[in-house]
Structure formats: C-alpha cells, structure tokens
Amino acid sequence: MDRASVQERFGIVGTSAALNHVIDQMRLVARTDVNVLVYGESGVGKEVVAKAIHEMSARRHKSLIIVNCGAIPEGLIESELFGAEKGAYTGATERRSGHFEEADGGSIFLDEIGEMPLAAQVRLLRVLETGEYSRVGSSKVMKSDTRVIAATNKKLGNEVQGGRFREDLYYRLSTVEINIPPLRERAEDILPILDSFLYEFSQRYESPIKRLSPEARQMLRTYRWPGNVRELRNLAEQLVVLVPKQDLGVDDIRPYLRGVTASGSTNEIVLASNAKTSWRDSGPDGEVASKELQLIYRALLELRLEMKEIKQHLSGPAPIPHRSEPRTTVQEDEFPPERPSFIIESVEPNQPLLPAFEEFSYEIESSNDTTYSNDHSFEEEDTDANPFPTLEDAEQELITKALKHYKGNRRQTARALGISERTLYRKLKELDEEL
C-alpha cells in the first residue's frame, strides 16, 4: 500500500515532509510484529497511527484492544490488563479475563504508557519478553501472542532517570519509535486539515460549506495550535454549528481560538488585528476606538485572578472567586512599554470606557488583611464563621451522590458530572487517601 492509499484509507490529511516520514515508518513497521512506541503531544493523532499500523498488519483480522493506562486506578490496572480470579480482591465476584487475553492473536494499544504504575510495569515486561502472564490471584501461567503498540506524550528517557519508569521496559517497548510532530511544526498541513473537517461537518449538519478570507487563513497558519489536530477539529465543528455566515473573516474565527492547555493557561495571545493602533487611541466622545485595548484589559483581569489563585495555594483557603470563566495567563513581556496600569472587567465594542471602571470592584491587600473596595470602605475579614462548605467537601459530596445514583457505574457518573473517567478515577483515589 503506497503513501497516498494509506492517507485515503485512514483519513490522514497533509503533505508535509514530517507527516510523509511518519506514514513511511507506519508502512514499514506494519509488516512486522515489532513493538512500537509512538511519541507526540496531546491531540496529534497517536491513536490514529496505532489503528493504521494494526489494520495494515497481518493481525488485522483479530482485535485491536485500546487501553488508556492513565484512566485506570493503580489498584485495578493489573486486573484490567491480565484478568483476575474470583475473590482476588474486594469486589471480584467472578473470574474475568484481561485485555491481553482478549487481544490474543491481535494487537493492544497502551495509550499514556508513561502513567503506568511500576508494579504493573513488571508484569508487562514479562509479557513482552516471554508472552507469559497470570491472572491476579492465580498461579496458573497463561500465554498471549499480542503485539504491543504504546504511546505517550512524555519523554520516557526522563521518566527512567527519575525512577518512574523501568529502563528494561523502555527498551522493550521502543524497538521502533515513531515521533509525530505537533501541528505548529507542519504549518502547510493546517489549512488542508481544516478544509477536510469543514467539509465533513458541513455534510453531517447539512450546512453550507464555509469559506475563509485570505486574512483568516493566514491567521490560522500562524496560530500555535496547542491542542493540535484535536483543537483544529473542534474549531471546524464550532464554525459550522455556531456561525451562520458562509464567508468567514478574522473577527468571525478569533473568538474560537482559545489555545487553552491542560493547566488552564494559553500559549500565546491571538492579536485582535494587525493594525498599528495607538495604545491610547480614543474617539472624540472618549470611547475606546482600539479593540486591542479590550483584549489587554481582559488579559490583565485574568492575570489578576491567576495570581490570586496562586496566592491561595501558598497561603491557604480564601473566599471563592466570583468568576467561573476560563482563565488566561499573560506573560509580562507580551505588553508594550506603555501598558495601562489598571484593570476593568469587560468592555463592549461600543461601550464607553468610564462606566466599566465604575462597575469594577477591586481589592488592595495590606499588612492588616483588610479589603478596600470601590466604595472606599474598609472591612475586616470575617474568619469566625463560614456558612459554606469548602469546594473540596462539596465536590466529594457531589461525586458520592452521583455514584450512589448510578449504582457505582463510573462511566455514567463521569458523563453526568461532565468530567472524564480519568478525572473521576483520580478524584476517587484522592478521596480514598483522605479517608
């Protein structure tokens, strides 16, 4: 199967040299049974590569089992991978087979392999070396002919040096390494991928195909895409569903370029325009004429909230913030020398600047821990009584009630709470440690 056929069959879009190299590696390793380690940032398509390798291999008529190692609690991962006998642990009411037993003759994709606990790594190493394993709670040795494809966004060499990953397992897994470059390093693939997504969602939602202006297309090429292809797909779906216009410009697309990373910060600010507007430019009626100022004011506010949150972590609990919007981190060197030294909560495009200042309440911290608001009155903090539960207690109570409602079904519980199963597992683990 040539490169073009691989791209067409598995929906891989792009013509960059880096992407072509990845596809060529996939074609070569698919003909063998060697273990493969796929590197790449979150959202680059590591699972797509694993599925393509399996489907092009001689094992394609057997199962491909996909396992997210980071979503399984440490105490359950061994039973998930290798199975368990009845009574092997609390809640094991019957014998169950593991993923390696189900994948016998096929392939198993271990995503987020860097999150696997050390105890499970020992068992995995034995399977890779001899093909032998045993169920949890059993001494019977079983055999599994399974090809392992692993993926991670961590540098496993650094994990080995830190003692978090076994060196011998690392060498077993990395017989062949495939490194998928992030989207920002193959800018020529961005627009073709976006066009394919726009066409796909236009067909799905029976909407006219969107057309982007040259300025909008150039902005998308220069954007850093911290979420990679996953973020690009999300943008395309939002544009098709939420923007009624067929011809889209820079201002239509910019609100959906969030660039939010896992930590809640942004890699960079998307500028409002390329126009060289003065930082103090205003109209004859005192209204702000520059949209850049609106972005800066908003970023300053979010920076203030970020710093306040950091201070809470360092000094202890503090009052609950009054905002729940996504926060943005702004580096100091991103502001011009003459940046404003004030913060406003929001500015509408045609709203005078002065009322926004009057409505915004701000705080100045002093050595006496008093609060100064815009009515110029000082109030001592009330630390004697707190009628509200802490966020941690409220979260634990909500999770407990949801689990009880869904009779312990964690997948339904996570879906009802609007979080991933991995996040739910982590929070349950933290709750168990506290108890």
Is the pLDDT at 240 greater than 70? The verdict is yes
Is the pLDDT at 367 greater than 50? The verdict is no
Q: Where are the domains of the chain?
A: 3-181, 184-256, 291-380, 391-434
Is the pLDDT at 347 greater than 50? The verdict is no
Give dist(CA 251, CA 257) in Å, integer. Answer: 11
- The label of the residue with tokens 């879009």 reads 13
> For the whole model, what pTM was predicted?
0.60
DSSP 252: H
Q: Which CATH class is domain 391-434?
A: mainly alpha
Q: What is the mean pLDDT of residues 149-155?
A: 94
Is the pLDDT at 334 greater than 50? The verdict is no
Given CATH 3.20.20.150, say whether it is the number of domain 184-256.
no
Q: What is the mean pLDDT of residues 343-352?
A: 42
Residue 284's pLDDT is 45
Please state, for a pLDDT cut of 70, what percent of the chain lies above it.
68
Within 13 A of 385's CA, how many CA atoms are on the CB side? 1
CATH of region 3-181, choose from 3.40.50.620, 1.10.357.10, 3.20.20.70, 3.40.50.300: 3.40.50.300
C-alpha pair distances (Å), 137 with each of 69, 91, 119, 394, 432: 21, 13, 15, 37, 23
The helix (run of H) or strand (run of E) holding residue 107 is strand 107-111
The helix (run of H) or strand (run of E) holding residue 197 is helix 190-204
- The label of the residue with tokens 């996570």 reads 414
Is the pLDDT at 88 greater than 80? The verdict is no
Residue 268's pLDDT is 44
